[in-house]
């Protein structure tokens, strides 16, 4: 099941590299992603029934933490593929992308999913790094797909800054291997996460704390934590919207996943809360800076990119805080943020296609122009801003409670960040959805399945947490202790 | 070859790697940069082979050959072709304040030495002292990417950083496991193709490879 | 008290005085050959000096005592420096009183007075040359000291004899710090002795000359002394480089019997050094004066790297 999960997107990428510009290519894309999702769900059921497992000669490894992210990844990529069918068709009609670029787009989309899944499922910390770099590389040229000066600039920034950042992570990995080799002996065994977590108490604490600084800077760049976030708003706003959706919704999660895995090892080795404090610092800074930057945005996709930074900051902060409640909240937050944010990007994509601009001042009257897009955006923003009864409210509430208990002095800052972000988002969304339809707005058929599905899920999780999800998170919390 | 001499050769090559890193930091001409990068790759490859011989790790020979193929032959060739095709070989970059950059570079070396001293204490390998040089090479690559404003130069800085990382792996642990080394090499290869495509995009869109003019995306107030 | 070291000391100074013009002649000869010209021969510098000594001294009306005093001082400093650097033997009486820092100071004094003399007459060229010379000096001297410290770190002493002795005993051959120091030293030596790419000793072109501009007003025996001192300086830097980085062949004890062999080896090494210098000079073009900061900056960088690699790698 695990191999199927990895091979499907890879196979789809190869197929789409040849026929990605045909009329039925988007359907193949959807079929591939659906098959990936099916495999992911199958794997989840298997893990749910039988517990954590190793596969492929210890090369792959699945536990509660990464299986839930794999299901999430395959699910969101499936819905994004559905959304991208309409979206990219429209872009093609507008003449923004040609044949070759369509082919390239589809192939790279699948390759990107493959890289993310490999990141999640691999047991080898070195391969984790490689897959992360692969995920970056496969999306760089997607960001510059439109070949406008700004798109190329954004992609270049993305390429260079993430390249620099991720290099630091490799150095951290080298140091980690150095420490592990002393305990586990040489050879590939010393980089396997299952081995590392078993002996993390014996690793040299000084080396590990040093390694964590590098890993934090490296993977933190990919998470988009302030002050390493410079590339993120550009990359997320200049590419095609389906790519923005998966970058914001999935790739950030994956990077955070890598960071959390490393943190577990470092905590085990040092026996202190040193790594957690660093993460809390970065997280809180990200929340505050992103919240205040939200106020200044004019471009709609840019604004939601900053919102992604803010939410990643919240999750990082919560993981850094540690403890069962905060970790539970962080896991839940990753899930609901990913669903809500990609849904928002779907509606934003349609909205900007209808107005042929990404400037918020020129987007108006969405409720009347296209109720699905308007309400989708409105509800999405309500969800992402943390209004009950959506799932993000639950996760943020949990995180806030844990903060009040463990670090009460930081609560006001957290609240301030959340409040500012809330205000900034609503101030902007109100004029876009309400009012009359402007003359330049063009009606279009929106892809409604992805938006509805995502919002429904966020709502359901907010009102009633399914039992299996609850149990899952609890297992994951145990793992990350 | 006894261990003592091998250690000396090793530190010697490390010194040359560092020297080439500094050379790249202040070199203005494109071809000069590519040549320095090639030399750095060659020193690295030789060093890996020497370490492999001393430590009796045969997979290091594979890494050494891989480095030779990738960083001494393939990447410089690609860069040469790109520089020629894009007609940037005559472009001379204005490097601001060379002495200052050099001083920062020296500070970075000291910083790396300081940072790596605990690791050095713990290590028993012949190559332990070169780890600081490896980190310094990474840092100088980073500095190069920050101070230079030309796309080709930034990429060379990026590759120099990658060299430093590879060097770090060799000196800290006698190389990463083979699967990781191969994966990293693959990533670099993909990156090479991507920046190749990028150069063309930037060149057609901006009419030059100077990245200074890519400054449209800023926070607006 | 042993007598032989004193004899060797005097021998060495005699060698300095005698061989320095020949070394300059050798460099010029090689340069002529590489450029396809007919050379004036190995002994042309001697003939120049003799000729200048036989000429009258013409002094400007406003020349002060500094102007008249400087040639003797420069010459004296060069001779004294020759007593400090182990050329033939390590066992020199002067090296126990004067270490390598004194050596740098001797060169600095000579330079200082040259610059003063350049300004003394009040001509435009003199002042210009002096200001350029001091610019170079302010950049070259820190680098020079840095390079020397690197070597003295390796030998744990600033005494030249001691340095030579340590390298001589040859505990380690491949020392990255010494390689860096050597590279730095070569750059500094080019700057200090006024060779291409820093200064061109063969030109009197207003825009580029540095050293020649300062001594433009000298004539007769004064000029002879200055020229001779300049030749000795070139010789001394070559000897210093040889002593610190390639000392093999220098007599280790105060035994006078080794001196002829040491002299032979020294001549050979000087020949090679001259050839290297010519290679550099023909390979490079003279730098614009504003680039000099970078050139000497790299020397400083190399010296510092040498020092760092002593700590990091050794």
Instruction: Spell out the per-residue pLDDT of chain A, length 481, in tens.
Output: 788 889 999 999 999 989 888 888 899 999 999 999 999 999 999 988 888 888 888 889 998 888 999 999 999 999 999 999 989 888 888 888 888 889 999 999 999 999 999 999 999 999 999 999 999 999 998 999 988 889 999 999 999 999 889 999 999 999 999 999 888 877 667 889 888 888 888 888 999 999 999 999 999 999 999 889 989 999 998 889 999 999 999 999 999 999 999 999 998 888 888 899 999 999 999 999 999 999 988 899 999 999 999 999 999 999 999 889 999 999 999 999 999 999 999 999 999 988 888 888 889 888 888 888 999 999 999 999 988 889 999 999 999 999 999 989 999 999 999 999 999 999 889 889 888 888 888 888 888 889 999 999 999 998 888 888 888 889 889 888 7
* Chain C nearest CA to B10, separation (Å): 9
* Chain A nearest CA to B87, separation (Å): 20
Please list every residue in chain A whose beta carbon sits closer than 8 Å to the beta carbon of residue B142. Answer: 164, 167
Please list every residue in chain B whose beta carbon sits closer than 8 Å to the beta carbon of residue A173. Answer: 176
pLDDT at A54: 87
Copy the structure tokens of residue C175: 């020392």
Check if the beta carbon of residue A363 is closer than 8 Å to that of residue A357.
yes
Q: Is the pLDDT of residue C170 over 90?
A: no
The model's pTM is 0.90
3-class SS at C55?
coil
pLDDT at B220: 53
Angle at CA of residue A284, ends A278 and A290, nearest 5°: 130
C313/B113 CB distance under 8 A: no
Please list every residue in chain C whose beta carbon sits closer than 8 Å to the beta carbon of residue B105. Answer: 301
Sign (positive/negative) of CA torsion C50, C52, C56, C57? negative
- Closest residue in B to C174 (Cα) is B8
Is it true that the peptide bond before A461 is cis, omega within 30 degrees of 0? Answer: no
Point out the residue among B9, B106, B129 whose CB comes nearest to the CB of C312: B129
* Chain B nearest CA to A130, separation (Å): 6
Q: From the CA atom positions of chain A, what is the Rg in Å? A: 21
B12/C297 CB distance under 8 A: no
A126/B183 CB distance under 8 A: yes
Higher pLDDT, C290 or A38: A38
Point out the residue among C301, C311, C312 whose CB comes nearest to the CB of B22: C301
pLDDT at C1: 53
Check if the beta carbon of residue A316 is closer than 8 Å to that of residue A286.
yes
B194/A140 CB distance under 8 A: yes
* Chain A nearest CA to B126, separation (Å): 14
A230/B211 Cα distance (integer angstroms): 16
A468/A355 Cα distance (integer angstroms): 42
Q: From the CA atom positions of chain B, what is the Rg in Å? A: 18
Copy the structure tokens of residue C10: 């005097």
Who's near B82: CB < 8 A, 6+ residues apart?
B152, B196, B199
HSE value, Cβ hemisphere, 13 Å, CA-based, for A268? 22
Maximum alpha-carbon separation in chain A: 70
Check if the beta carbon of residue C45 is closer than 8 Å to that of residue C22.
yes
As a whole number, mean pLDDT of residues C223-233 equals 94
Point out the residue among B174, B194, B221 whose CB comes nearest to the CB of A296: B221
Q: Is the pLDDT of residue B3 over 80?
A: no
pLDDT at A404: 94
Average pLDDT, chain C: 88
Q: Is the pLDDT of residue C144 over 60?
A: yes
C175/B8 CB distance under 8 A: yes
pLDDT at C174: 67
Check if the beta carbon of residue A194 is closer than 8 Å to that of residue A54.
yes
Q: How many residues does chain A have?
A: 481
Nearest 5°: phi and psi at B41?
-60, -40
Point out the residue among B8, B11, B106 whose CB comes nearest to the CB of C301: B106
A275/A266 Cα distance (integer angstroms): 7
- Window 45-84 of B: residues touching A by CB (8 A cutoff) are 57
The residue among A75, A71, A78 whose CA lies nearest residue A121 is A71
**Would you tell me the crossing angle of helices A99-121 and A252-270 to the nearest 10 degrees?**
20
Point out the residue among B5, B14, B26 whose CB comes nearest to the CB of C313: B14
Which residue of A131, A133, A158, A170 to mutate against B (max B Cβ within 10 Å)? A170
- Where do the domains of chain C lie? 4-313
pLDDT at C80: 93
B141/B149 Cα distance (integer angstroms): 14
Check if the beta carbon of residue B40 is closer than 8 Å to that of residue B17.
yes
Is it true that the peptide bond before A358 is cis, omega within 30 degrees of 0? Answer: no
Point out the residue among B26, B105, B132 whose CB comes nearest to the CB of C312: B132
A122/A176 Cα distance (integer angstroms): 17
B144 touches chain A (CB under 8 A): no
Nearest 5°: phi and psi at A359?
-80, 130
Who's near B180: CB < 8 A, 6+ residues apart?
A124, A126, A127, A129, A130, A191
Task: Give the pLDDT band (50/70/90) at residue B221.
Answer: very low
A11/A443 Cα distance (integer angstroms): 36
CA C94 to chain centre: 18
What are the DSSP calls for B174-191, one per residue? SS--HHHHHHHHHHHHHH
B107 touches chain C (CB under 8 A): no
Nearest 5°: phi and psi at B150?
-120, 140
pLDDT at A188: 66
CB atoms within 10 A of CB A405: 13
Copy the structure tokens of residue A442: 């063009």
C176/A105 Cα distance (integer angstroms): 51
Check if the beta carbon of residue C314 is closer than 8 Å to that of residue C308.
no
C243/C103 Cα distance (integer angstroms): 13
Beta bridge partners of A62: A53
Residue A394: burial class (beta carbons within 10 Å; 0-12, 13-18, 19+): buried
CB atoms within 10 A of CB C93: 14
Q: Does chain C touch chain A (at least 3 C-beta pairs within 8 Å)?
A: no
CA C220 to chain centre: 23
Who's near A1: CB < 8 A, 6+ residues apart?
A39, A42, A43, A46
Chains contacting chain A through 3 or more C-beta pairs under 8 A: B
Sole residue written with tokens 């210098």 = C277
A201/C16 Cα distance (integer angstroms): 69
Sign (positive/negative) of CA torsion A436, A440, A443, A448? negative
Copy the structure tokens of residue B217: 């995306």
* Chain B nearest CA to C259, separation (Å): 33
Q: From the CA atom positions of chain C, what is the Rg in Å? A: 19
CB atoms within 10 A of CB B4: 10
Check if the beta carbon of residue A90 is closer than 8 Å to that of residue A353.
yes
B106/C294 CB distance under 8 A: no
A177/B195 CB distance under 8 A: no
B202/A150 CB distance under 8 A: no
Check if the beta carbon of residue B127 is closer than 8 Å to that of residue B186.
no
Please list every residue in chain B whose beta carbon sits closer than 8 Å to the beta carbon of residue C179. Answer: 12, 15
pLDDT at B218: 66
A431/B15 Cα distance (integer angstroms): 62
Sole residue written with tokens 């050099």 = B102
Is it true that the peptide bond before A221 is cis, omega within 30 degrees of 0? Answer: no
C304/B105 CB distance under 8 A: no
Nearest 5°: phi and psi at A296?
-100, 0
Please list every residue in chain B whose beta carbon sits closer than 8 Å to the beta carbon of residue A141. Answer: 194, 197-198
Residues of chain A by 3-state class (helix, strand, coil), percent to 5: 80, 0, 15
* Chain B nearest CA to A227, separation (Å): 14
C224/C75 Cα distance (integer angstroms): 10
Point out the residue among A164, A175, A181 whose CB comes nearest to the CB of B145: A164
The residue among A366, A386, A372 whose CA lies nearest residue A430 is A366
CA dihedral (A138, A142, A143, A149) in degrees, to 10, reads 130
C314/B11 CB distance under 8 A: yes
Angle at CA of residue C186, ends C238 and C207, nearest 5°: 100
A228/A217 Cα distance (integer angstroms): 8
Which residue of B114, B134, B173, B215 to mutate against A (max A Cβ within 10 Å)? B173
Please list every residue in chain A whose beta carbon sits closer than 8 Å to the beta carbon of residue B158. Answer: 160, 163-164, 167
3-class SS at A306?
helix
A144/B201 CB distance under 8 A: yes
Q: What is the DSSP letter of B125?
A: S
pLDDT at C202: 79
Chains contacting chain C through 3 or more C-beta pairs under 8 A: B
Strand ranges inside A53-136, DSSP E = 53-55, 60-62
pLDDT at B176: 85
Q: Is the pLDDT of residue C172 over 60?
A: no
Is it true that the peptide bond before A147 is cis, omega within 30 degrees of 0? Answer: no
C307 touches chain B (CB under 8 A): no
Check if the beta carbon of residue A44 is closer than 8 Å to that of residue A68.
yes
């Amino acid at each position: 099941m695990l191999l199927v999960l990895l091979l499907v997107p890879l196979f789809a990428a190869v197929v789409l590299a040849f026929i990605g510009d045909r009329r039925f290519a988007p359907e193949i894309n959807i079929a591939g992603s659906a098959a990936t999702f099916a495999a992911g769900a199958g794997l989840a059921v298997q893990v749910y029934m039988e517990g954590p497992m190793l596969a492929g000669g210890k090369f792959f490894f699945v536990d509660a933490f990464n299986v839930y992210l794999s299901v999430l990844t395959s699910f969101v990529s499936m819905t994004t593929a559905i959304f991208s069918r309409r979206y990219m068709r429209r872009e093609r009609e507008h003449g923004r992308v040609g044949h070759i670029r369509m082919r390239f787009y589809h192939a790279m989309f699948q390759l990107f999913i493959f890289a993310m899944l490999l990141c999640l499922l691999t047991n080898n910390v070195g391969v984790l790094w490689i897959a992360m770099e692969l995920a970056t590389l496969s999306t760089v040229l997607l960001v510059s797909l439109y070949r406008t000066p700004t798109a190329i600039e954004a992609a270049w920034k993305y390429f260079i800054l993430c390249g620099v950042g991720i290099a630091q992570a490799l150095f951290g990995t080298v140091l980690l291997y150095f420490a592990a080799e002393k305990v586990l002996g040489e050879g590939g065994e010393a980089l396997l996460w299952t081995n590392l977590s078993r002996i993390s108490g014996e690793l040299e604490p000084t080396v590990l704390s040093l390694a964590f600084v590098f890993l934090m800077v490296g993977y933190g760049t990919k998470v988009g934590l302030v002050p390493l976030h410079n590339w993120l708003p550009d990359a997320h706003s200049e590419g095609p919207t389906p790519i923005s959706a998966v970058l914001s919704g999935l790739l950030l999660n994956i990077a955070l996943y890598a960071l959390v895995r490393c943190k577990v090892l470092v905590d085990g080795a040092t026996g202190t809360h040193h790594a957690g404090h660093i993460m809390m610092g970065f997280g809180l800074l990200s929340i505050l800076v992103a919240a205040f930057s939200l106020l200044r945005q004019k471009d709609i996709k840019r604004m939601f990119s900053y919102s992604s930074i803010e939410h990643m900051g919240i999750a990082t902060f919560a993981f850094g805080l540690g403890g069962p409640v905060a970790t539970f909240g962080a896991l839940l937050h990753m899930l609901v943020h990913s669903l809500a944010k990609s849904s928002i990007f779907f509606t934003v994509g349609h909205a900007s296609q209808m107005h042929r601009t990404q400037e918020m001042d020129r987007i108006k009257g969405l409720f009347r122009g296209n109720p699905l897009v308007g309400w989708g955006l409105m509800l999405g923003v309500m969800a992402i801003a943390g209004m009950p009864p959506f799932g993000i409210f639950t996760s943020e509430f949990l995180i806030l409670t844990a903060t009040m208990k463990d670090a009460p002095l930081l609560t006001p800052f957290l609240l301030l960040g959340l409040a500012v972000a809330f205000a900034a988002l609503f101030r902007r969304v109100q004029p876009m959805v309400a009012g009359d339809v402007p003359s330049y707005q063009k009606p279009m058929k929106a892809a409604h399945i992805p938006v509805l599905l995502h919002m429904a899920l966020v709502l359901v999780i907010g009102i009633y947490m399914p039992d299996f999800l609850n149990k899952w998170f609890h297992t994951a919390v145990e793992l990350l202790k | 070859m006894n261990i003592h001499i091998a250690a000396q050769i090793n530190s010697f090559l490390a010194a040359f790697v560092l020297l080439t890193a500094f050379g790249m930091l202040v070199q203005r001409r494109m071809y000069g940069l590519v040549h320095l990068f090639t030399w750095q790759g060659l020193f690295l490859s030789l060093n890996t082979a020497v370490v492999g011989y001393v430590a009796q790790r045969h997979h290091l020979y594979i890494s050494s050959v891989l480095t030779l193929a990738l960083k001494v032959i393939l990447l410089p060739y690609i860069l040469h072709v790109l520089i020629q095709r894009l007609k940037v070989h005559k472009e001379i970059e204005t490097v601001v304040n060379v002495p200052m950059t050099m001083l920062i570079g020296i500070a970075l070396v000291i910083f790396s030495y300081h940072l790596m001293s605990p690791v050095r204490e713990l290590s028993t390998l012949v190559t332990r002292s070169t780890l600081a040089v490896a980190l310094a090479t990474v840092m100088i690559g980073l500095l190069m990417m920050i101070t230079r404003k030309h796309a080709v130069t930034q990429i060379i800085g990026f590759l120099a950083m990658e060299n430093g990382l590879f060097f770090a792996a060799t000196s800290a642990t006698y190389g990463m496991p083979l699967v990781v080394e191969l994966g990293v090499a693959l990533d670099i290869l993909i990156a090479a193709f991507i920046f190749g495509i990028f150069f063309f995009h930037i060149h057609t869109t901006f009419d030059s490879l100077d990245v200074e003019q890519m400054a449209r995306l800023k926070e607006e107030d | 008290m042993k007598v032989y070291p004193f004899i060797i000391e005097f021998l060495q100074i005699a060698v300095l005085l005698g061989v320095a013009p020949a070394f300059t002649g050798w460099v010029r000869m090689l340069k002529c050959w590489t450029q396809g010209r007919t050379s004036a021969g190995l002994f042309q510098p001697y003939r120049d000096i003799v000729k200048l000594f036989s000429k009258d001294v013409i002094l400007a009306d406003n020349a002060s005592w500094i102007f008249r005093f400087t040639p003797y001082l420069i010459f004296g400093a060069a001779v004294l420096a020759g007593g400090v650097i182990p050329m033939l033997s390590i066992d020199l009486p002067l090296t126990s009183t004067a270490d390598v820092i004194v050596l740098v100071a001797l060169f600095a004094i000579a330079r200082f007075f040259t610059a003063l003399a350049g300004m003394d007459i009040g001509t435009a060229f003199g002042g210009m040359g002096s200001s350029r010379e001091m610019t170079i000096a302010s950049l070259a001297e820190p680098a020079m000291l840095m390079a020397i410290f690197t070597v003295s770190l390796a030998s744990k002493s600033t005494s030249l004899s001691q340095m030579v002795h340590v390298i001589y005993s040859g505990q380690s051959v491949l020392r990255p710090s010494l390689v860096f120091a050597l590279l730095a030293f070569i750059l500094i030596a080019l700057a200090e002795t006024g060779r291409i790419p820093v200064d061109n000793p063969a030109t009197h072109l207003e825009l580029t000359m540095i050293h020649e501009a300062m001594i433009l007003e000298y004539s007769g025996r004064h000029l002879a002394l200055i020229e001779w001192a300049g030749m000795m300086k070139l010789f001394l830097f070559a000897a210093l480089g040889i002593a610190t980085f390639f000392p093999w062949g220098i007599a280790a004890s105060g035994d006078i019997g080794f001196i002829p062999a040491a002299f032979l080896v020294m001549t050979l090494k000087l020949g090679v050094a001259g050839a290297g210098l010519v290679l550099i000079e023909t390979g490079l073009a003279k730098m614009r004066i504003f680039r000099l900061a970078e050139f000497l900056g790299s020397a400083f960088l190399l010296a510092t790297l040498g020092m760092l690699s002593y700590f990091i790698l050794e």
